Structure 1
């Protein structure tokens, strides 16, 4: 829960943290909103899951992988997002794999203003470093 807060402070623009499940996105948004500035969800910290969206003017947004994919259909370069944190990456699903693939393309298109963090409790970093063409 700390990483999105640090990223928002350092980069000063929208940080998105994807979650594979709706419940995780909602509960993390509530928890981080309380920790970050004590404001209600929908102010500095928001969420976007399914058709539910509480994210007006937020700096940190939690969303499901599917919600990010829908967002990319509206804005393929995801211009508003500066930092993308893909959480629980070890929980492989089609949506998570699509988001990881999208993030690789966006890193190539926006090398100076887009950052990706892959987070997982049981990640194999070598596989991800190879996929993103990064040295070990």
Structure 2
């Protein structure tokens, strides 16, 4: 790929990640009931109440902020590295803690693997974008 193509791919990947964040977080904000019913095991869906839906909306609001910042900021190689590293707590702390592996097992249903795949995509995509931007910066200094 040429330099303009590589930079355009970085822009498109950043836009796709921002759109995914904003789209899924809007779902949490606007329809937390379906998020809970689709994402949690029946035992926990039965225990859901207005506080549960408030927390899902708060979760969505935070994710919306992340998506908006990601989509509107001028991301540098360093920014992408930090964003990629920030995915590690989600993968380890959330995806594994509440899946069948961690002590929080049984709360989230098997759809959790889609979140794991998405978080892994965000992490690896961010590291790839950082690598491309660093390579392009080094080419510009020659």
Normalised TM-score (structure 1): 0.31
Higher RCO, 1 or 2 (CA under 8 Å, sep at least 6)? Answer: 2
The structure with the largest helix share of the pair is 2
Q: Report the structure, 1 or 2, having the larger strand content.
A: 1
Larger Rg belongs to? 2
